[in-house]
Amino acid sequence: MSNAAISVLVSAEKDPVLQAIGKKVIAKQRISFEEGVQLFERGSLSYVGALANWVREEMHGDKTYFNRNFHIEPTNVCVFSCAFCSYSRLYSNREEGWELSIEQMLHIVKSYDGKPVTEVHIVGGVHPKMTLSFFLELLQTIKAHRPELHIKAFTPVELDYMFRKANVSIEEGMRLAHEAGLDSLPGGGAEIFHPDIRKKICEDKVDAEGWLKIHQTAHELGMHSNATLLYGHIESYAHRIDHMERLRSLQDQTGGFNTFIPLKFRNMDNDMSDVPESTIVEDMKMYAVSRIYMDNFPHIKAYWPMLGRQNAQLTLSFGVNDIDGTIDDSTKIYAMAGSEEQNPAMSTADLVRLIKQVKRQPVERGTLYNEIRDYTDVDPLSLELDPQLN
C-alpha cells in the first residue's frame, strides 16, 4: 500500500484512539503499552492488518525470507511438565520417549552431506542425563564434521537446567557453549513471561528474568537470537503486550534479536485440551500487532508447520516477512499438538511457489539474514527437476 493510501485509510478511521495510533505508526513513532492493548481490543483486522502490511513493506518491500535447515530433537524426555506440551514424556515414563546419542545425532547431520542446508536447529526436552558436557561434545562433533553449518540450538529452558547442574554461571556456560560451536539461540521456551500466566502453564521451568538474562548474555558474546510468544490460550491481550514489551526493552539495550515468532497454541493431547484454539482472524491480528509493536525487531516469522501452509501464506499480508525453512524432517512438537502438518517437509520449490503465489519475492537467507539467493526469476518447476538445488 502506498504512503498516500495508508494516510487516507488512517484519516478515515472513525475511532479517535485507533486513528491516533495509526498516525503514530505511519510517522514511524513507537506505540505505547496501552496503545498495543487498544489495537488488539478495538482494531478491526482490516485496519490493523493494513498498518502492519505497510510497516512490513516499508522495511522489506515484498522480500520474504526462508532458509534451508533441518531439525534435531535430542530427546522428548523432560523433567518439566508444561501444561501445553503434547510432546514430552516425563522422566518417570522415559521408556515411552526417545534419547539420541551423539553418534546418532552426527548420523543425522551426515545424512545432509552434499545438500545445500545452511542451518541445524537443535532443541528438545530437558533430560537429566544430557548434561552441559554432553552438549559441548555434540557441538564440537558437529562443527568438526561440517564447520560452516550454522548451529542454532537450545532454549534457555535447556541451558538454565544444564548450567545449574554443571554449577556454572550463565556467563561461563554461554561462553563454553559458544566456544564449542553454538552460533545462535532459537526463540523457544519464552511462552508468556507474565508470572500470573507462567505459573499456570509452565510453573517449574526458567522464569522470564532467567530467559531474558540468557539471551542478553548471548547477545553480549556477539551471538544473535530469536524470541517466541505462545498465544491463544488463557492469556489476556495485556499479557501479550507485557511479553512483547520486555523483549522490545532488551532489544533496545542489545540489538541482538533477529526475529519475533508468535506461536499459535495447539490443543491436541495436552493438559490444556479444554482450551479452544484461536480463530484465524485472531491469528492474523496477533501477527499484525507484533509487526507494529516490535518496531526494533527486524523480522517477524510465521512458523508454517504450526499454522499450516495456507495460513502461513496469509500471514505474508499481515506483517510477516519470513516463513522459516524447508525443515525437512518430522518436527514432532507440533505434529503431536494437533498441527495439520503431521510430517512437515517443504522443498525449496514448494516454498518458492508458496511465496510467489501471493505475489511476494522469495529470498533464501542464512540464519543471520545474509541473502543467499533471490528466486524472483526462478521457476519452481526447474527447481523440482534439480535434486541438488531442491
Residue 340 beta carbon to ligand V47: minimum distance, rounded to whole angstroms: 13
344: phi then psi, degrees, rounded to nearest 5? -70, 125
CB of 313 to ligand V47, least distance (A): 17
Residue 88 partner contact from ligand SF4, ligand V47, none using kind-dependent CB cut-offs of 5 to 8 Å:
ligand SF4
125 binds, among ligand V47, ligand SF4, none (CB under 5 to 8 A by kind): ligand SF4
Minimum CB distance to ligand SF4, residue 21 (Å): 34
Q: Within positions 36 to 65, which residues make up the interface with ligand V47, using CB under 6 A?
A: none
Among 31, 55, 85, 355, binds ligand SF4 (CB under 6 A): 85
The beta-strand segments (E) located in the chain are: 63-67, 69-72, 77-78, 89-90, 119-122, 150-153, 184-185, 224-231, 257-264, 299-300, 322-325, 361-365, 371-374
CB of 354 to ligand V47, least distance (A): 17
Q: Which of 35, 191, 283, 328 binds ligand V47 (CB under 6 A)?
A: 191
Measured from each CB, the residue nearest to ligand V47 is: 188
Which of ligand SF4, ligand V47, none binds 258 (CB below 5-8 Å, type-dependent)? none
Q: Is 80 in the site for ligand SF4 (CB under 6 A)?
A: yes
Site for ligand V47 in 330-349 (CB under 6 A): 333, 337
Q: Does 325 bind ligand SF4 (CB under 6 A)?
A: no
Question: What is the number of residues in the chain?
Answer: 390
The minimum distance between CB 202 and ligand SF4, in angstroms, equals 6
Q: Which does 205 bind (CB under 5 to 8 A by kind): ligand V47, ligand SF4, none?
A: ligand SF4
Q: How far is CA 249 from the centre of its chain?
A: 18
Residue 287 binding partner per list ligand SF4, ligand V47, none, with a CB distance cut-off of 5 to 8 Å that depends on partner kind: none
Euclidean distance between CA atoms 314 and 291, whole angstroms? 14
| Residue among 25, 151, 230, 349 that touches ligand V47 (CB under 6 A) | 230
Residue type, 298: P
Q: How many CA atoms lie within 13 A of 169 on its CB side?
A: 5
Print the binding letters for residues 263-302 with ligand V47: x by CB under 6 A, - otherwise: x-xx---x--------------------------------
**Cα dihedral 230, 236, 241, 243 sign:** negative
The per-residue DSSP string of 99-145 comes to B--HHHHHHHHHTTTTS---EEEE-----TTS-HHHHHHHHHHHHHH
Binds 265, which of ligand V47, ligand SF4, none (CB < 5 to 8 A, cut-off by type)? Answer: ligand V47
How many residues bind to ligand V47 according to rule CB under 6 A?
A: 20
Cα distance between residue 154 and residue 375, in whole Å: 31
Beta-ladder partners of 301: 322
Which among 186, 260, 198, 196 has a CA at the least distance from the CA of 223? 186
Q: Could you give the CA distance from residue 43 to residue 46 in angstroms, rounded to a whole number?
A: 8
Look-up of cell digits 541438488? 388
Q: Is residue 260 near ligand V47 by the rule CB under 6 A?
A: no
Contact of 332 with 342, CB cutoff 8 Å? no
Q: Report the partner that residue 126 touches, choosing among ligand V47, ligand SF4, none (CB closer than 5 to 8 A by kind).
A: ligand SF4
Which cell is 330 given? 518430522
281 grid coordinates: 482472524
Calpha distance 42→201 (Å, rounded)? 27
| Exposure on the CB side of residue 53, measured as CA atoms within 13 A | 21
Asked if 302 and 322 touch (Cβ cutoff 8 Å), the reply is yes
- Mask for 105-144, x = binds ligand SF4 (CB under 6 A): --------------------xx------------------
CA 298 to chain centre: 13
Footprint of ligand SF4 (CB under 6 A): 78, 80-82, 85, 87-88, 125-126, 157, 202, 205
Footprint of ligand V47 (CB under 6 A): 84-86, 186-189, 191, 226, 228, 230, 261, 263, 265-266, 270, 303, 324, 333, 337
